[in-house]
Structure 1
Amino acid sequence: MARSSLAQNTCNWITALLTLWSMVSLIVIVVWATWPPLASLTQCRAAHQALIEKMEGVKVIKEKEQDVLKSALQLSFENQTRLQEELESILESQRETNATLTESLQLQMILKENVTALENERLIHHSEHERLFSELAQQEALIENLWVNLTSEAHHLDSCAALRDAADSQQVAAESQRKACETKTNYLVKQVENCKVNGRGTEDFQNN
């Protein structure tokens, strides 16, 4: 709007200057024609014809300048319209870019929060892993100790079994010896009883 006003003012100034120049030229021609030493009919006609031609030329020039100014004004309007459309397109693109940037920033914040949560979770899992690894090491040490104790107890059990087998063998031998001793004792008892019986018979024979 400011450019169109400036172009219109320029056109008005040029028109005013051309009009002023035409009037001054006309006055000069009139003065020159009415000057007594130079006044003549031929000169007046020539001056009149020249004035007419000059006025026609001024008119043509004025029309051409007005056409040029109108073309320039139209071109200015078209450029202004095109620039306005480009500006609106740039503003729209900037708004879309700002919206995209806002979404990207929000997404970045969400991703940052997720990364922080995952890092905290990783630390928790790492701590839990360390705890379980420590417990596993303790369990393995306990299992190793129990295995050593189990091996020792197994050896002790084998030793006890061997001692029991030996004791069983000694018990069997002792039982055999006991039975042999009982058999021998029974035999000796019988011998003693036989001897007693025989001794009584001898005494009876002697008494008779």
Structure 2
Amino acid sequence: MSLQDRIINHFSDSIQTQQDALTHLSEFIEVASQRLVVTLLNDKKILSCGNGCSATSAQLLSSVLLNQFERERPSLPAFALTTDTATITAIANDYNFDDIFSKQLRALGQNGDILVAYSAGSHSANIAKAVRSAHDKGLSIIALTGKDGGMIAPLLNEKDLEIRVPSNSSARIQEIHVLITHCLCDLIDHQLFGG
């Protein structure tokens, strides 16, 4: 297979995954945006977390909500639990890496907040522990997953929402997570500020 063929395959696979996601996930994305808007209208905050590339998606969500998406508007309360390296490394060193998000959630999460958890893989013990801590604190969860839902899907309850990308490829799942994040930010802006 030539290098050009490999490039074509990546684009073709990405386009197909986007089409599959559009077909299967658009209603879930709409509901997720509505839940996030209700959270914000109730003067609560959006917390997010993820590992590796999923951490960048969590940070994308919080940075866009705090700053702006595609238009000027007031800042919205969002915080990525992936950004404080001193805190993350201290928790990992003094306790366990599985505690890096749950320990922060126990301190920062409040009843009525929402946790947006990103997991492209199936072995995210720290995300699973964050989901449990969020439930203990009265937070609901929006989980962006892929593959078979991994460790996260079985932990979700009736107040939670899973948006599972129909793919087994981590690269495709992460691409769709970014697209879903952009959709959520646009839908939040539209519902809160019109236009």
TM-score range, shorter chain: under 0.3
TM-score when normalising by structure 2:
0.19
Which structure has the greater CA radius of gyration? 1
User: Which of the pair has the greater relative contact order for Cα pairs under 8 Å at 6+ separation?
Assistant: 2
Considering fraction of residues, name the structure with more strand.
2
